[in-house]
Structure 1
Amino acid sequence: MLNASISHEDIDNQQVTAIISHLVRLGREQDYEEWIRGFSAVAQQFRGYGGLNILRTSEQVHPEYVLVLRFDCSSNFKDWLESDTRSEWIERLQPLIARPEDIQAMTGLETWFVLPQKLHKPSIPRYKMVLVTWLGVFIVLAILTRILAPLLSMLPLLLNQLVTTGLVALLLTYVVMPQLMKLFRRWLSS
């Protein structure tokens, strides 16, 4: 089932993160692991490929895998999604999974805190989200104000704030928050 809630025309310049879940048939885990290696090698060939992370649940009865696949923009994601190559690999996947794959495509800030919920774990406590986001904003603002203050001081206050907050959002989404999420992954999920 595909639940791609993005408009390709409106946000073509934003990075797309596809969260793909597969419920693997019991006893087919080794075959699925081989499928992932091949699938990953093929995905890397596509324009705009930004990486693949594989998350595995520890549940033995219903092993679920979550693939986190990134593309640089929605048009490249769409090219991959609609490709014959991907269709062939999905066809190879069918005997290995217990239900059809689920794909959720997201852009921007919504990808920061979504993964633990997908793995059927309790959601990240809001206070932890606030602390990590606060740290990210602090880091970006501390750096930007030092660099940009002399350059933007001639602008009217509102224009100065518009430029600064735009850069903060951009850097948080594409640089700082992905790194902070990796750094604090264990703490966030505990």
Structure 2
Amino acid sequence: MEQEDQSVTVVISQNVKPGCESAYEAWLKDITSVSRTYLGHLGTNVIRPQLGVRSEYVIIFRFDNYEHLLVWMESRDRQYWLSQAQHLVHSEPHVQQLSGLEAWFSLPGQPLKTPLRYKTALLTWAVVYVLINLLNRLLAPLLGILPPLMISFIISATMVVLLTYVVMPRVTRLFSSWLYAKS
């Protein structure tokens, strides 16, 4: 890992056998509870199957750095819980590790893959450039009575929320043929 101090996300996808969904949900509750006890755990998200969109469960574990993630991934606790789920799933889970901004570049309903770094850097820069200029023009005049650091805090927080939940999912979809072009 190039930068051991940056947060790391692991995306695990798995197909559950028909009729085993409720047992798998109980298993999910248990394994995510255990993961929270590990140092550096930043959160867990579960994306459940959606008819016509995604057939597998996707579990997203976030840790503050690679070392803490590795402790969880190689733990006896995790191995135990994985063995408990073997009869509930079709095959071994598909595991993908993402770090930094790579997590922004995934398309809903498709296998998670990471585009080339220069493409993510260019697209992120372009979107941040446009968004920061728009937010400065729109919000700065409204927030003019606040201290400059507070204005900067509000604009940057707004930008991160917009990038994460609104802009990057749409931009990724729009530029998907360029981002994920076969070499």
Same-fold call, TM cutoff 0.5: yes
Q: 1:92 to 1:69 in 2, by over 3 A?
A: same
Match runs of 1:89-100 below 5 Å? 89-100=81-92
Equivalent residue for 2:17? 25
Instruction: Note if contact 1:26-1:63 (Cα within 8 Å) is conserved in structure 2.
Output: no
Letter in 2 for 1:181: T
Q: Does 2:103 correspond to 1:111?
A: yes
Instruction: Spell out, residue by residue over 1:77-133, the C-alpha distance to the aligned partner (whole angstroms, 9 max, x if none).
Output: 00000000000110111111101101101112222112523279xxxxx9xx95x76
Report the 3-state secondary structure (helix = DSSP H, G, I; strand = E; otherwise coil) of the residue aligned with 1:99: coil
Aligned partner of residue 21 in structure 1, secondary structure: strand
The size of the alignment, in residue pairs, is 144
Deviation at 1:58, TM superposition (A): 1.5
Paired with 1:84 and 1:176, the residues of 2 have a C-alpha distance of 40
Distance between the aligned counterparts of 2:166 and 2:95, measured in 1?
Answer: 26
Q: What is the CA distance between 1:180 and its match in structure 2?
A: 2.3
Cα offsets for 1:34-82 (capped at 9, x unmatched): 111111111110111011111123138x841011111000000000000
Aligned structure 1 segments of 4 or more residues deviating by more than 6 angstroms = none
Equivalent residues of 2:107, 2:169 under 8 A apart: no
Superposition TM-score, scaled by structure 1 size: 0.62
Q: Is the 2:41–2:63 contact (alpha carbons within 8 Å) kept by the matching residues of 1?
A: yes
In the superposition, the TM-score normalised over structure 2's length comes to: 0.65
Aligned-partner Cα distance in 1 for 2:63–2:159 = 18
State the identity %. 28
DSSP 3-state at the match of 2:11: strand
Query: 5+ unaligned residues in a row in structure 2: which ranges?
Result: 114-118, 141-155, 175-183
Question: Could you tell me how far 1:33 is from its partner in structure 2?
Answer: 0.9
**Deviation at 1:179?**
5.5
1:145-184 mapped onto 2 (5 Å cutoff): 177=160, 180-184=163-167
Contact 2:12 2:95 in 1 (8 A): yes
- Which ranges in structure 1 are unaligned for 5 or more consecutive residues? 1-6, 121-125, 147-171
Aligned to 1:64: 56
- Give the aligned CA root-mean-square deviation in angstroms: 3.4
